[in-house]
């Protein structure tokens, strides 16, 4: 990190004037309140951080209570999950622009992957399934972070990101007691299943909200070459393709 900071070219940085005085937090909250796109992203990240990102607890319970493994096997799970996280980081670096579509697909993928993880029959399968879980989780986080940072007014970026991190990091300690209680009452597998159910319902609610607010329609054409298409506003009949 120190080497990366030393290599930054300060002449190419866009300096945002610092603003002082009262009401800075209030202005940041008012700005976010007027941005439903940012509120949607923060709501998704809050659900993920509260119910889905308790891996230190859930993997420990699964390793010890379900698969009857020791500390070494539990530590190995974190390394295996890092394979998926590293893959997601490399994929995010190659992606030119963060898209809401990528965020929603990654969020849905996390719900499916974590549900499959909770039902893993053996320790080996559990370890293997941690890879797509780590990949989808980090894809959600990097995409959401980039979308928020790149879409806000530079003068508001610091305050918005502070609120974003408070929503994300603050959700984990709120959800941990509930996850622990669920694990003691219903069993270790439910500590993961609850997160997958919560994230699945969250992405479904987000898609329904987008369909309603953005007037998005899903159209299916069976003529010549069957295909799905997503259109905004009034549904327009697709023009048939001319066969060569």
Lowest mean pLDDT among 1-5, 6-10, 54-58, 122-126: 54-58
pLDDT per residue over 160-188, tens digit each? 888 888 888 887 788 888 888 888 888 88
CA distance 158 to 154: 8
What DSSP state is assigned to residue 63?
Answer: I
Tokens of 184: 């003691």
Question: Is the model's pLDDT at 201 over the cut of 90?
Answer: yes
% of the chain surpassing 90 pLDDT = 27
pLDDT per residue over 89-136, tens digit each? 888 877 777 888 888 899 999 999 999 999 999 999 999 999 999 999
Tokens of 43: 């709501």
pLDDT score at 16: 65
State the DSSP string of 69-93: --HHHHHHHHHHHHHHHHHHHHHHH
Q: How far is CA 222 from CA 122, 159, 217, 236, 243, in A?
A: 43, 49, 16, 15, 15
Compute the Cα dihedral for 50, 56, 62, 65 and give only its sign.
Answer: negative
What DSSP state is assigned to residue 62?
Answer: I
The count of residues in the chain is: 244
Chain-centroid distance of CA 137 in Å reads 6
pLDDT confidence band for 244 (50 / 70 / 90): very low
Domains and CATH numbers, the chain: 36-213 (1.20.1250.20), 217-244 (no CATH)
* Residues 138 and 89: beta-carbon distance below 8 Å: yes
pLDDT score at 131: 93
Question: Is the model's pLDDT at 24 over the cut of 80?
Answer: no
pLDDT score at 221: 58
pTM: 0.78
pLDDT per residue over 42-86, tens digit each? 999 999 988 888 887 888 888 888 898 888 888 899 899 988 888
CA distance 119 to 210: 31
Please give the torsion angle defined by the CA atoms of residues 40, 43, 49 and 51, in that order, rounded to the nearest 10 degrees: -120
pLDDT confidence band for 156 (50 / 70 / 90): confident
């Amino acid at each position: 990190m120190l080497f990366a900071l030393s290599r930054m070219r300060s002449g190419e940085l866009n300096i945002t004037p610092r603003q002082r005085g009262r009401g800075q937090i209030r202005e940041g909250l008012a700005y976010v309140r007027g941005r439903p796109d940012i509120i949607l992203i923060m709501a998704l990240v809050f659900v993920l951080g509260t119910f889905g990102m308790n891996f230190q607890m859930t993997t420990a319970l699964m390793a010890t209570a379900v698969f009857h493994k020791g500390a070494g096997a539990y530590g190995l799970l974190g390394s295996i999950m890092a394979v998926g996280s590293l893959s997601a980081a490399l994929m995010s670096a190659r992606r030119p622009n963060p898209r809401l579509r990528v965020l929603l697909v990654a969020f849905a993928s996390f719900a499916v992957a974590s549900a499959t993880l909770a039902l893993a029959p053996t320790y080996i399968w559990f370890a293997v399934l941690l890879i797509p879980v780590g990949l989808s989780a980090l894809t959600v986080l990097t995409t959401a972070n980039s979308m928020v940072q790149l879409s806000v007014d530079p003068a508001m970026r610091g305050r918005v990101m502070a609120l974003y991190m408070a929503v994300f990091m603050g959700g984990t300690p709120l959800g941990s007691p509930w996850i622990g209680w669920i694990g003691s009452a219903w069993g270790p597998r439910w500590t993961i299943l609850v997160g997958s159910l919560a994230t699945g319902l969250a992405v479904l609610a987000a898609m329904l909200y987008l369909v309603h607010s953005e007037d998005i329609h899903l159209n299916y054409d069976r003529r010549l070459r069957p295909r799905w298409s997503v259109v905004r506003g009034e549904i327009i009949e697709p023009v048939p393709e001319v066969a060569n």
